[in-house]
Amino acid sequence: MKLLAISDTYIPAQFMGAGLSRLESLGVEVEVRRWEHENLVQLQQANLAIEKGGPEAVPLGDDLLRDIDRFEMLVVQFAPVSRRLIEAAARLSVIGVLRTGVENVDLPAAAQRGITVLNTPGRNARAVAECAMGLILSEIRNIARAHAHLMRGDWRRSFANSDAIPELYDKTVGLIGYGAVGRLVAGYLNAFGSRIVAYDPFAKGDPAPAKLVDLETLLRTSDVVSIHARLSDETYHMIGERELAWMKPNAVLVNTARSGLIDEAALVKALAERRLQGAALDVFDVEPLPADHPLLKLDNVTLAPHLAGSTIDAFRNSPRLMADHLARMLNGDSDLPVVNGIMPSLRV
């Protein structure tokens, strides 16, 4: 039984091979091939193109597709799994994606072939949750802005929010999306003594320490709003001009999820007109952020270059988590993160 893993700049070949090596004891022959980019920015640009245009938007080289018909399993992170690849992989039975989103896989083509698609839910949830907390604190306490001024020799203690710098204790923080990331953030906020509300129509189980509310209530009552939802046709621009108008003028908006969840132009306008105290953003409609982007002209934002999920622990652990899923699959376990409803039949 053969498995092809396609590494990338974020999960290099040594991480990929080490994480999947436990499958060798089950008789799986693992081969790792490298999807090369000069730097992380190029990989992020390719990933953004795939998210917007689908797996056909970025072609894989023939060196990565050679002898693809020999493999029963394929594991990727960002590499596109196109219809062309799926049709050429005559023996392919399972596709494993080392993240939650599977935008890089042609799901209809996989379904036509009866191929199971697995994802890795929560694989970088802690990394994103910790970064979200860092962005919240950086924005409300002016940490990044103060650092930037000090590096220029400017001892500055006056900022756009200086008249109302809050603490998180006893403040209401709203979480839009209450999955793996949102629940971790809620735990951190609980330790700070915050009141926590969450909006997620798909949330299951006990929401403690958060209280589930509707979106309008969350936006009208929260001092900080942090977004952790999935991007879909239904959630695109879920925070637009109307929703921003619901927010308190001294509130802060944080986004470490997907830029498409917010109407970026409407957010820039609200920040520029001081109808919103501030924002902290890790994701943008265009990446890298253009030098003339209006966000860069504002003094009430904290910006990061799409790095929330990028920790060495998340990247090292992702292949290990997928190896666990595949090992359980090969041993007949049906409790698996199947995203396309096709249960696997591959067994040792």
* Residues marked as catalytic: 258, 287, 306
Is residue 105 within 8 Å of 112, Cβ to Cβ? no
Is residue 57 within 8 Å of 50, Cβ to Cβ? yes
Which helix (H) or strand (E) element contains residue 226? strand 224-227
Picking from 347, 231, 331, 214, the residue whose alpha carbon sits closest to that of residue 283 is 231
Close Cβ partners of 262 (under 8 Å, ≥ 6 residues apart): 227, 237, 238, 239, 240, 253, 255
| Chain Cα centroid distance, residue 180 | 11
Residue 1 CA to residue 30 CA, distance in Å, equals 9
The tokens for 127 are 């990394």
The tokens for 291 are 């030098």
User: What secondary structure letter does DSSP report for 122?
Assistant: T
**What's the chain's Rg over C-alpha atoms?**
22
User: What secondary structure letter does DSSP report for 160?
Assistant: T
Q: How many CA atoms lie within 13 A of 37 on its CB side?
A: 20
Write 325-331 long-range contacts (CB < 8 A, 24+): 325/96, 325/118, 325/120, 326/3, 326/20, 326/23, 326/28, 326/73, 326/75, 326/94, 326/96, 326/118, 327/22, 327/23, 327/26, 329/94, 329/118, 330/23, 330/26, 330/28, 331/26
